[in-house]
Amino acid sequence: MLSEKTRTLAAGRNFAALTTLMPDGTPQTHVMWVASDEDYLYLNTEIDRQKFRNVSRDPRATVTIIDSDDNYSYVEVRGTVVETIGGQRARDHIDELSQRYNGKDYPNPIRSERVILKVRPDHEVVH
């Protein structure tokens, strides 16, 4: 189960930094929108993006969520992408996230296919 602070930050308009591993092992980090339930973090991307290729090859990932009201308050979740969810559910999810963060449906064109990354926490650090 995710900590209360992680769930609270993931439910707000706080940005997450997703770190994945490139084929040569170097880390790659992207700032993203985030959501959660009691047990998992959810991030949304497209299948033609490097971060998706990275987690498809090596599912280890770290997600850091920074409190937008206090930049020194954050959580770090080291975990594993245990599932990817595509189709209409992923398309609806990006609109839900955009509504929360921007107050409108996702306006950008979709170049390939949206996919949700479901991250299981293996280790959580709360700051």
Q: Which amino acid appears at position 10 of this protein? A: A
Range of the domain at 51: 4-126
Number of domains in the chain: 1
Tokens standing for residue 2: 């995710």
pLDDT attached to residue 83? 98
Domain containing 87 — which CATH number? 2.30.110.10
Residue 56 in tokens: 């498809």
DSSP code per residue over 11-46:
HTT--EEEEEE-TTS-EEEEEE--EE-SS-EEEEEE
> What average pLDDT does the segment 97-112 reach?
95
Q: Could you report the per-residue pLDDT of 18-71, keeping only the tens digit for each?
A: 999 999 999 999 999 999 999 999 999 999 999 999 999 999 999 999 999 999
d(CA 4, CA 26): 31
